[in-house]
Structure 1
């Protein structure tokens, strides 16, 4: 009996050791997507009232956990019964991400700023009356974006444990899902509260703390504006990257382009590593425009149909 227990414990320790190693590899491979996820979600939850920032982040974090609770079992089932379906589903998600990115760009270009105090007051009144709807839209948009990014993280993680046992896959995907969600939304919560920390420090007696607080207050809006731009760019990079890897011809052309550029004297070693990123961005933007155009055509012929 005792020997059987020891053997069982030894087997469990071996499995946990393997899971730890595979989880570390999976975390490294998903680090790039994690950076995009952080930038996207930080800018997605920006713009809400200060006292509502943490509740909004918490709502999105709960939505992210639900996303992964759906995606992890779904990915495991699909990998067993229809592994060929993973790429097409990812591509649909990538196209939607590109579509949302183009919509954000066009919205920012078309948005008219208030030209006088009356217009500014009217716009503020409109925002105040729609705060609940605005907040709800923010949460829905962030959870929707998180779903696509989470799907990519889950698929990348699944690829790193393709040869593992089913139990190993379950444990690794579960660990990655929890760690990534806690990490991303913990950082997002810190980012959105930088201005509150700055305000707190300005009210302290120490001159150093007051100076630091004023610096944080000046830095916070610049950071959020930067994250808004970076988050939109990340939509094209992630969406374009998904499309690039899912379409063999595009992936092959990208590899050939990098190979040719790297052989250019003097600048090849500098531009070469940046080429895949630039190609993914262009692919993402063009794909977003095509999807947007298709949606507009559908709306024209079927006006009552809902947008994507």
Structure 2
């Protein structure tokens, strides 16, 4: 009887150790997958602050909260089930679906460039009140593409894990990435308020830091807005570049790869130069594809409508 009890306790201890090891493995895999997606996470963080520009200060955090909830809904309720099913039964569909998202991201970036070039952006900013629902809707749509890229990158990193482990890892990644991105975004957009608070303190050092933050944050947000547009073109173009190669059309990717190899050997900065080549090539591809879509959806229809009265007259 005693021997049976000891054996049972040994079995329980073994199960506990196995469970602990599994938790450690899942945690390590989730961390590895999150790190792999860091590039897109940085892009997501750069893209989001531009959506709260023009809002009243007291509405910034509530809007970011709504976008964060939308982002989490994107990841857990839409993207996760779809990519898990596709990876299990139709893995070849992941690339075309991602490419559609990449094209949309390129279109978003190119549209912002067109608004700046045409002066339409300034006209929108002078129009007055911001439609918060439209802001959230646009941000969540863009986030959907970036989130899909993050989740697919994470999935590729753990694709050898069993189905349940993959599911748990991706849930952890979705939660961590969302908290990281929107926590940082919230901090960025409220730094001017922190600066104002510091500027009102008695300490001379605190006042200097506070005034510096108050003066610097509008400039930082403007820079992040530009970086966000570049990031959409870069990520969208990179998705398309890699997707085209995976679908069997290797010429374009090979050209970029050869250019990377040509500069990779430069002592000290070869890695950076290779990254810049890939980034610039991806952004250029994103700009070209996005510009074509913008022309089809906006520019050409407007010209046609403008020419119709003259033709009929």
The partner residue of 2:178 within 168, 173, 181 is: 181
* Cα deviation code 1:186-211 (max 9, x no counterpart): 00000000111111112212222211
Cα distance, 1:156 vs. partner? 0.3
Whether 2:164 is the aligned partner of 1:167: answer yes
Structure 2 match to 1:28 = 35
CA contact (8 A) 1:23 1:172 kept: yes
Q: Is the 8 A contact 2:101 2:145 kept in 1?
A: yes
**SS at the partner of 1:164?**
coil
Offset of 1:112 from its aligned partner? 6.5
- Aligned counterpart, 1:306: none
Does 2:187 correspond to 1:190?
yes
- Paired with 1:168 and 1:46, the residues of 2 have a C-alpha distance of 40
Displacement, 1:270?
Answer: 6.1
Aligned length: 292
Corresponding position: 1:73 with 2:81: yes
Contact 2:115–2:121, Cα closer than 8 Å, also in 1: no
Residue 248 (structure 2) pairs with residue 247 (structure 1): no
1:16 aligned to 2:23?
Answer: yes
1:249-286 deviation digits (Å, cap 9, x = unpaired):
23222212212344689996763342111111111101
SS in 1 for 2:70: helix
The CA distance in 2 between the partners of 1:16 and 1:266, in whole Å, is 40
Gap regions ≥5 residues in structure 2: 1-7, 306-313
Residue of 101, 111, 116 corresponding to 1:93:
101
Deviation at 1:302, TM superposition (A): 11
SS at 1:162 equivalent: coil
Question: How far 1:145 sits from its partner (Å)?
Answer: 0.8
Question: TM-score with structure 1 length normalisation?
Answer: 0.87
CA deviations 1:196-246 (Å, max 9, x no partner) are 111111221222221111110111101000001000000011001101111
Between the aligned partners of 1:243 and 1:163, the Cα distance in structure 2 is: 25
Judged with a 3 Å threshold, the aligned counterparts in structure 2 of structure 1 residues 107 and 80 are, in CA distance, closer, same or farther, namely same
> Aligned runs of 1:196-207 on 2, under 5 Å?
196-207=193-204
Look at both structures and tell me which one has the larger radius of gyration over its CA atoms: 2
| 1:145 matches 2:152 | no
User: Would you say the 8 A contact 1:41–1:142 is kept in 2?
Assistant: yes
Higher mean C-alpha deviation, range 159-168 or range 105-114: 105-114
Q: Which runs of 5+ in 1 are unaligned?
A: 115-119, 304-308
Aligned-partner Cα distance in 2 for 1:11–1:268 = 44
- Is the alpha carbon distance of 1:112 and 1:42 closer, same or farther for their aligned partners in structure 2, counting shifts above 3 Å? closer
TM-score by length of structure 2 reads 0.86
Give 1:43 deviation, angstroms: 1.8
Within 5 A, what are the aligned runs for 1:29-48?
Answer: 29-48=36-55
- The 1:82–1:270 alpha-carbon spacing in structure 2 relative to 1, beyond 3 Å, is closer
Decide whether the 8 Å contact of 1:98 with 1:235 is kept in 2.
yes
Alignment match of 1:290 (pick from 289, 292, 299): 292
Q: 1:57 maps to which residue?
A: 64
Name which of structure 1's ranges 250-259 and 212-221 shifts more when overlaid on structure 2. Answer: 250-259
Q: Secondary structure at the match of 1:127?
A: coil
| Alignment match, 2:213 | 216
RMSD: 2.6
String of CA shifts for 1:64-83, please: whole Å, max 9, x gaps. Answer: 11001121121101101111
**Secondary structure of the equivalent of 1:163?**
coil
